[in-house]
Amino acid sequence: MQLVIKDKNKLRINRLFDWLIHMIGYTIVFIGVTSFFSSIYIDNNHLIIWSAIIVLIIYILNKTIKPILVTLTIPITGITLGLFYPFINLFILKLVDWILGKHFQLYDIWIALLVAILLSVINFIMDRIIKKIIGKVKKYE
């Protein structure tokens, strides 16, 4: 399995590897936030497994529902100069809370907003790591 794929004279990272990097980063965020804040509850019986399930559901919702939400909220996001965008992530988190019921619960809306912002930061960091990997491959071509 190749880590970096050349596609139409452009380098891109293998989608499976990209997905794994993001899933690991998000899972670490959820485990870390759960250990620091008591207003977020993830089932402690299998914390890593439930965190991975949460991240998987978030991934699926981000690929299906989030583009629709972003399109519908373009005027609000534009008026607030992009400050509304974390609230879309917050909505996704509350939807996951509703889907998983007792295994994942968000008690404080502000901590949930903090988690949404942290997920955005992790996403940015992971994208930087992926771009560095692609940059190193370009050097050696």
Q: 85-124: per-residue pLDDT in tens?
A: 888 988 999 999 999 988 899 888 888 888 888 888 887 8
Q: Given a cut of 90, is residue 27 above it in pLDDT?
A: no
SS3 14: coil
Per-residue pLDDT, 80: 92
Return d(Cα 22, Cα 63) in angstroms, integer.
14
- The C-alpha angle with vertex 68 and arms to 62 and 70, in degrees rounded to 5, equals 80
- pLDDT category at 1 given cuts 50, 70, 90 is low
Per-residue pLDDT, 3: 61
Please give the average per-residue pLDDT across 17-29, as a whole number: 82
Amino acid at 47: L
Q: By percentage, how much of the chain surpasses pLDDT 90?
A: 20
Per-residue pLDDT, 45: 84
Per-residue pLDDT, 139: 57
Please give the average per-residue pLDDT across 10-22, as a whole number: 72
Q: By percentage, how much of the chain surpasses pLDDT 70?
A: 83
Per-residue pLDDT, 115: 86
Say if residue 71 is exposed, middle or buried (CB neighbours under 10 Å; 0-12, 13-18, 19+). exposed
pTM of the model as a whole: 0.77
